[in-house]
Amino acid sequence: MSHAYRGGCACRAIRYEISAEPVESNDCQCRQCQQQSGTGHSSYLSFVGAPVTVEGEATTWDVVGEGRTVKRCAFCPTCGSPVYLTFPDIPDLFIVRAGSLDEPGRYKPEMVFWHSAAQPWDHVPPGIPRHEKLPPR
C-alpha cells in the first residue's frame, strides 16, 4: 500500500484513517443510496479486517438492506455529512463513502450494484460490470 486512506466529514469533526487497500470499490444505484446521497447513486470503498482509526463522534442510524443485513450509517451530527457504514453482523467490514476521502481521486469504481434501480439520468463509468441487484458472492 502506498499510503493510508484518510478522510472525514465536511466540518472535520469526524476523521478516519485506514491502513490497508480496499477489497472493493463500487457505485450503488439502489433507492436507499439515492435517498441518502440526494442523487443517483452512492460510491463506496470497502475494507475488510483493516486497521481503522476513527476520531470524533458520529451519529448513526440503522437501515435493513437486501437479505435482511443491517447497515449502520454514520454521519456527522454537526455538518450532516454521511461518512461511513458498519455492519453489526459483519464487524470486520468498514465502508467509507468515496466523497469523504481527503483524496477522492483515489476512488476507482470496479462495479455497479442495483443497476435495475438506476435513474435514467444517472450515468456511471462505461465499461465496468453492472449487476441488476447485488453481485453473487
Predicted local distance difference test score (pLDDT) of residue 40: 93
Residue 1 has pLDDT above 60, yes or no: no
Per-residue pLDDT band at 137 (split at 50, 70, 90): low
Question: And the C-alpha cell for 100?
Answer: 469523504
Determine contact, residues 92/48, Cβ cutoff 8 Å: yes
Read off the pTM: 0.92
Q: Where are the alpha helices (DSSP H) in 26-130?
A: 31-37
Domains of the chain: 5-117 (2.170.150.70)
